[in-house]
Structure 1
């Protein structure tokens, strides 16, 4: 296929509106339809004048996530003046210029050696061995939360269990004082608001909070990740800047509880609406690690990656993505791609082998594979196991079609999960 014919195909494409309510309400069928119509498609965010490519098929998604030909930071592409679409989006949402850097210049946004430099600073806290050592504490937190759930009324499992478990775990790991953790829950909730300007206040509050916490922790060191990061910064400030220190804490706390909370919420709803799978899991609890993998594939909360950029011309799905053009890897369509998964629409808790590296791409792939994936999987295992063993009569308090979702592009989140325990 010639370059001109490739471009003529592009000209005839419909542009996908990522804020389309129908797409956000049912991203599984919506993105699957897009995937089968074209391997890659044009898309846009309202108010943004620069379109992006949606990469939808499993093999192409792994290419985007795993190859050096795609980068997270447009500044990594030498010789070009490529706009940073995330920076433009943050400014459009009302975040002051001097705070935007904390959302666009961290471990998730850097490439190559800079990414590895920051990743090494925190990777020891998330090794398989360290995560296993944390399991008794995660089980203790889960048990305490389950003890507090009332049996005489409808319980919102998102608010009273799915959120408190991972936010407690990550705040303890990082070093956020217990008295301040409700603030992070409040800020996290505000961050996902799509109202104009709503994102600015929590970003400012979180960054200012970390600014204030660092000198307090420097004066009173503790056995936590923040103390270790401060020491790395103070020992070699040229290797780890003030901005990177603050951004690292912000990223770890937000990413360390938001995704896991909605994995627990989505996964619980999936189990309660698939009684055969639920009964099998109750009868065979050893399936839990495989079940968490399948739930992450089937109803994972992160459905699309942050924007990446082609570092050179790349052909994907018969189309040429030009150097500097922005792409989003659509995880949900890759995880539902029948070219890779047999009967992908079917929830099958025995589908994925219990291996260290999963087949699904719910946690990403390649250099930017989720740093906290092992911890998130463990928290999911503990959360589901405790919930199912403690409450054999657990059931939805509303019809499945009445469950309310937070409509966000490239995300799948329950606003609440009303259940009856007894």
Structure 2
């Protein structure tokens, strides 16, 4: 996974692995052995099979906490050891029945109605950011990533969670630092963010309001069980880290894809109703998440003719699955009409199975609003540099532009 060529061009790299076979032996980010699962059907099989566990610390796997790949990542990020539990024990890493309990409690506070009701505010925030974009332009060129793609989701997330105005500037800063890849910045940003969320929970317990944080406090199971303070902090962190990065770079990658495929952009401009289908195709073709969370075999399992031994680590590769010619006709082609309206999701950009992305509906909504309004505000927008000069951050598991300079008119 850390091979320079794989980091530089993961779509081609993992695509080559896919054509070698559906299950390939390799090495994970920390150098430990892993099984790469590369093809569409096999990736979906792993993601929906409860025998492939999310939690490496499940007692039956006999793994030490410090040996978990995620623990290695947290150390590399500079996160203090005493804060690791906030990310090692989240809804993303738990399995049933604990995952089921957490998801059921959180889903009651993360309803489709709440997301729908948020849309007018998402549109207002989008308009405000796009109107201000020329303020950041140098000779008519502005960076979409810094001044739109990141500010939009972190602002919407602050609205959803219920972050007071006096904290917003700090949250915008925290929203950029956890992805700065600088351990001294990342570790301190998470530590400050965790403490601030604890403080907000204490404030909300004194006076509940109409926001997600209050809903998390109110939420309880049929047996009366509730989220603990640590679980609430972890859930907010999960929403921030997952929703911010994915949405920001879906907007960045998708904008680049549309600008470099003018025929597809023209389709979208001529038929705005195509947007929901287009969003799914952009998530398939240039979604920022290259792979799902690691899975761990709870027993010996035959996967596409390869025996995965109990305790083995499995890495489902979403990017190679989304380009699998066994499932898609001409997968290399960007086709905004590919996904039939009203049909089930035909890609794994948001995952699959029990761990399907909890915030997928919000991410789709923000993406749809962002693309629609960007090209409405700036119908003649174009790349501000030659495409070959664009740079991506070499980050395993993620496909993100460092910047996206756009000429606004």
* Residue 193 of structure 2 is aligned to residue 212 of structure 1: no
The equivalent of 1:71 in structure 2 is 53
TM-score, normalization: structure 2? 0.93
Q: 1:236, 1:32 → 2: CA distance?
A: 47
* Residue 136 of structure 2 is aligned to residue 154 of structure 1: no
Equivalent residues of 1:145, 1:161 under 8 A apart: yes
Equivalent residues of 1:174, 1:253 under 8 A apart: no
Residues 249 and 53 from structure 1, CA distance in 2 versus in 1: closer, same or farther, beyond 3 angstroms?
Answer: same
Matches within 5 A, 1:61-100: 61-76=43-58, 79-83=60-64, 84-100=68-84
Provide the aligned length of Structure 1 versus Structure 2: 403
Residues 45 and 343 from structure 1, CA distance in 2 versus in 1: closer, same or farther, beyond 3 angstroms?
Answer: same
Query: In the alignment, which of 155, 178, 186 is matched to residue 168 of structure 1?
Result: 155
Matches within 5 A, 1:131-210: 131-150=115-134, 153-195=140-182, 199-210=186-197
Equivalent residues of 2:110, 2:212 under 8 A apart: no
1:92 is displaced (CA, Å) by 4.8
Equivalent residues of 1:40, 1:56 under 8 A apart: yes
* Residue 294 of structure 2 is aligned to residue 307 of structure 1: yes
TM-score, normalization: structure 1? 0.90
Matches within 5 A, 1:311-390: 311-355=298-342, 357-390=344-377
Structure 1, unaligned runs of 5 or more:
1-17
**378-387 vs 237-246, greater mean Cα deviation:** 237-246
Q: 1:356, 1:244 → 2: CA distance?
A: 35
SS for the counterpart of 1:131 is helix
1:182 is displaced (CA, Å) by 3.3
Residues 164 and 194 from structure 1, CA distance in 2 versus in 1: closer, same or farther, beyond 3 angstroms?
Answer: closer
Q: Give CA-to-partner distance per residue, 1:352-409, whole Å, 9 cap, x none.
A: 1233631100000000000111111111111101111221101000011111211100
Q: 2:206, 2:111 → 1: CA distance?
A: 28
In the TM superposition, structure 1's runs of 4+ consecutive aligned residues that sit over 6 Å from their partners are: 233-237
1:234 is displaced (CA, Å) by 13
1:127 is displaced (CA, Å) by 3.4
1:80 is displaced (CA, Å) by 3.5
Q: Give CA-to-partner distance per residue, 1:181-218, whole Å, 9 cap, x none.
A: 33333333332344455532222122122122221222
* Residue 355 of structure 2 is aligned to residue 392 of structure 1: no
1:153 is displaced (CA, Å) by 2.1
SS for the counterpart of 2:140 is coil
Q: 2:131, 2:183 → 1: CA distance?
A: 39
SS for the counterpart of 2:108 is helix
The equivalent of 2:34 in structure 1 is 52
Query: In the alignment, which of 18, 32, 36 is matched to residue 15 of structure 2?
Result: 32
